[in-house]
Amino acid sequence: MTLEQRVANALHSAQAAPALRALVADLAREGRAKAEIVELLENYVVQQRTAADFREDDEETVLEVLDALRGWCHPAAELLPEKPVR
């Protein structure tokens, strides 16, 4: 299964946002870099905007997860936070 298919499967689940957040955590555990995950999600949104079966709810879910990856959210909701440099 491709990464794009994994994203699509998460978005088509009953609880899309938690499923996509869990996928992000899984990808990180599999060794994928945060930047790679961000790029995957950004590319997915761009591709879906021109697809015949575009769903605005899917776009919103991906954008919310991207915000959490970038730290543009409450600290408790952040995904893959950077470790502080000491």
Task: Report domain extents, the chain.
Answer: 3-77
Query: Is the pTM of the predicted complex or chain greater than 0.85?
Result: yes
pLDDT in tens, 9-35: 999 999 999 999 999 999 999 999 999
Which residues fall within 8 angstroms of residue 48, CB to CB, at 6 or more apart? Answer: 54, 55, 58, 59, 62
Distant-in-sequence, close-in-space partners of 19: CB < 8 Å, separation ≥ 6: 9, 10, 11, 13
What is residue 83's predicted lDDT score, i.e. its pLDDT? 76
Contact 58, 49 (CB under 8 A): no
Percent pLDDT > 90 in the chain is 94
